[in-house]
Amino acid sequence: MSTIWILVSDAARGRLFEASNTDSAWTEITCYTNSDLRGLPKLGGSGRTTPRTQESAGAARHIIEPHTSYRDKRTHAFAHTIVSDLLEANAHHRYDQLYLVASPQFLGVLREEIGDADAARVAGELANDLVSLSRDELRQHLHAAFPHVFRTKQARAIS
């Protein structure tokens, strides 16, 4: 019997599910939130996120464009947190297969953080933003994407 983990995430939040086999019920084992991208108020500061510089001759001030935006930095930090947990769990053999379901842009960030997908036991990826769906709706989407792995619950015939 194999253990399957399903990560459903976007840049602001993530949900990690576990199934002991493809037919079993999913258990949500952890939830991740990226408070920096969830619109929570920030403590202190002027609210200005773009650095500025003073002109050497005169009173003009110019915006310095950062190489990486604040949002991108926070997105990569969030992905790093999730991937660190996944790789640690993989090292302790807590799952046999990992499925990644994320918005296309965040899936790319996850891929960068994971590096070697085979070493992390990534069995499949789905580039859709499904983090807000219910467990049953997620199961239906995964069944459509991976019908040989995820089966839908069979309806019992009423006699």
C-alpha to C-alpha distance for 65 and 110, rounded to whole angstroms: 25
138: its two tokens? 């997620």
Whether the pTM exceeds 0.95: the reply is no
Q: 114 phi and psi, to 5 degrees?
A: -70, -40
Question: For 76-126, how does the pLDDT look when each residue is reduced to its tens digit (9 = 90+)?
Answer: 999 999 999 999 999 999 999 999 999 999 999 999 999 999 989 999 999
Nearest residue to 100 (alpha-carbon basis) of 6, 22, 30: 6
What class is the 4-33+69-145 domain? Answer: alpha beta
Residue spans per domain, the chain: 4-33+69-145
pLDDT digits (tens, 9 = 90+) for 40-70: 444 444 445 555 566 666 666 656 565 678 8
